[in-house]
Amino acid sequence: MNPFADLRTLFYLVKLFGRIRPTYFFGYTAKPVIWGVLAAWLARVPHRAALITGLGYAFTGEARGKRALVQKILRGLYKYALRRATLIFFQNQDDKSDFAQMGLLPARVPVVIVNGSGIDTDTFTPAPLPSGPPRFLLIARLIGDKGIREYAAAAAQLYAAVPETEFHLVGGLDPNPDGIPEAEVRQWQETGHIIWHGSLEDVRDAITTSHIYVLPSYREGTPRTVLEAMAMGRPIITTDAPGCRETVIDGVNGFLVPVQNIPALKEAMERFLASPQIIETMGTESRRMAVEKYDVRKINAAMLTAMKL
C-alpha cells in the first residue's frame, strides 16, 4: 500500500530490463502486471504480456472507504498499464467482460482467455479417500472475501448436529485490509467446529486426509486450490461466482452455491453427509476435468502459442 515503494520497484525494473534487454516480458497478478508492463514499455521491451489472475480485494465487496480508494487507484493504474501491453490474458470471461465494461481494455491489444494457471496433474495425483468421519477442507489466505466466515458459520451449524464431522482450515494470516484477525480464528478453534492448521508449504497431505473440498469465495481468477483438490480426486463445493463456477459442473463433480449464502453452503455439505457414495463418484469426475481442462501443459502450450513463442 506504499506508493513510494512501488515507484522504487518501477525504477528498479526499468534499470534491470535495460541491462538484460529481454525480448519478452510476462507479468501476472496486479502489481507485476502494472509496474512490470510499465517498466518493460519504458525499457522498450518489444513484447509485453499481462495475465489477469483475478480482480481481488479492490474489486470485490462494497466499494466504500479504503476499498473504494484502492479500487479507484487500481483501476486507473490498470487502464494506464494495459494500454502499454501487447497481449492480455484473462482466466475467465467474467473478468474480461468487467474490465471491458470499466473501460480498462484498449481496443488495439489482443485478449486471450485461458483456463487458469493450470495444475501439474503428475504432482497432484489421485489419493484414496481416507477412512473415518467426513472431513471438509478449505485452503485459503485468511481474508473475508474467500468466504471463510461463511464456511465457519456453516461448519458451526453442522458440527452442532453431527459432531463427528470435521471442518479443516489451512491458511496463514494476511495483512490485507480484509484479513481475518487471529483472535477470530482462535475463537472458532476453541468452539471446536474448526481445525486450523495455519499455513502449509505443501497442501497435498491436507487434501489426502480430506473428503470434500470447499471454497465459498466471492470471486477468483481460477482458484488454484480447487484445481489441486480436483486433481487429487476430491469433489468440490464452491460459489456460482466468476472464476469459481468454471471449475464445477453442478451435480457432476460437486455443487455450486450462491455467494455469501450460509444456508445454501450448509445444505451442499449436508448432501455429502446424506449420500456419502457420491464423494467418490464426484471426485473421479473432478480428476477427469482437471486432466482434460486444467492440465498445466495444455495451458502453457496455449499461452506460448498466443505469445508466438
Dihedral over alpha carbons 214, 218, 222, 223 (to 10 degrees) = -30
The pLDDT value given to residue 69: 78
pTM over 0.75: yes
pLDDT of residue 63: 59
Position of cell 473501460?
103
Measured distance CA(41)–CA(232) in Å, rounded: 41
Which grid cell sits at 6?
Answer: 512501488
pLDDT score of 61 more than 60? no
Contact between 268 and 235 (Cβ < 8 Å): no
Domain spans of the chain, in order of start:
3-113, 135-293
Q: Which residue has the cell 480484509?
A: 178
What secondary structure letter does DSSP report for 295?
B
Q: What is the pLDDT of residue 88?
A: 98
pLDDT given at position 58: 59
Integer Cα distance of 103 and 260 in angstroms: 28
DSSP three-state, residue 206: helix
Q: Residue 52: which H helix or E strand, with range?
A: strand 47-52
Q: Which residues of 242-276 are buried (b: 16+ CB within 10 A; e: fewer)?
A: bbbbbbbeeeebbbbbebbbbebbbebbbebbeee
pLDDT interval class at 112 (50, 70, 90):
very high
Residue 59 contacts residue 98 (beta carbons within 8 Å): yes
User: Could you tell me the pLDDT band of residue 54, with boundaries at 50, 70 and 90?
Assistant: confident
CA distance 39 to 87: 15
So what's the pLDDT on residue 241? 94
Query: Which amino acid makes up residue 153?
Result: A
The pLDDT of residue 71 = 80
Q: pLDDT, tens digit, for every residue of 208-257?
A: 999 999 999 999 989 999 999 999 999 999 999 999 999 999 999 999 99
DSSP letter string, 136-147: EEEE--BBGGGT
Q: Give the tens place of pLDDT for each residue, 157-211.
A: 999 999 999 999 999 999 888 899 999 999 999 999 999 999 999 999 999 999 9
pLDDT given for residue 200 in this prediction = 97
Q: Which amino acid is at 180?
A: I
Give the pLDDT of residue 55: 75
Q: Which CATH number is 135-293's, of 3.40.50.2000, 2.60.40.10, 3.40.30.10, 3.90.870.20?
A: 3.40.50.2000
d(CA 303, CA 289): 19
- Alpha helices, H only, the chain: 3-20, 30-42, 66-82, 93-101, 148-161, 182-191, 204-208, 224-231, 262-274, 277-293, 296-306
CA distance 135 to 166: 5
- For residue 237, what is its C-alpha cell? 463445493
DSSP letter at 245? G
